[in-house]
Amino acid sequence: MKFIKSLLAIGCAVAVMASYSAMAASCCVKAKAKGKDCDHKCCVDARKAKKTCDSCQKEATCCDKAIAKGEDCAHKCCIDAAKEKKVCEKCNPDKKKE
């Protein structure tokens, strides 16, 4: 019984860690911070359709959604980060720090 509980606890911990890693900045957000557009074919096609890329942005952030619309994110934290040519760490947390 203890073994089953241990496996369940480990499984839950892995699921939580995986959900945090999915929140890392996408390729589009990183490219936008550098003043460019992402050149992945899937992202280019998604931008043309005014959508987020299903393969690169499984959990799209506010910045991903704004990029898909062809706009800049309106959050103050994102605007400040963009001025410094950085990715907003509040809205796009780095998975290495999690």
Q: Domain map of the chain by residue range?
A: 2-83
Return the closest-CA partner of residue 53 out of 14, 89, 26, 93. 26
Is the per-residue pLDDT at 14 higher than 90? no
Q: How many other β-carbons are positioned within 10 Å of the β-carbon of residue 11?
A: 10
The larger pLDDT score, comparing residue 2 to residue 33, is at 33
Q: Is 49:57 a contact under the CB 8 Å cutoff? A: no
Report helix, strand or coil for 53.
coil
> What mean pLDDT do residues 24-36 have?
89
The larger pLDDT score, comparing residue 95 to residue 32, is at 32
pLDDT tens digits for range 32-80: 989 899 999 999 999 999 999 989 888 889 999 999 999 999 999 999 9
What pLDDT does 25 receive? 86
> What mean pLDDT do residues 80-97 have?
84
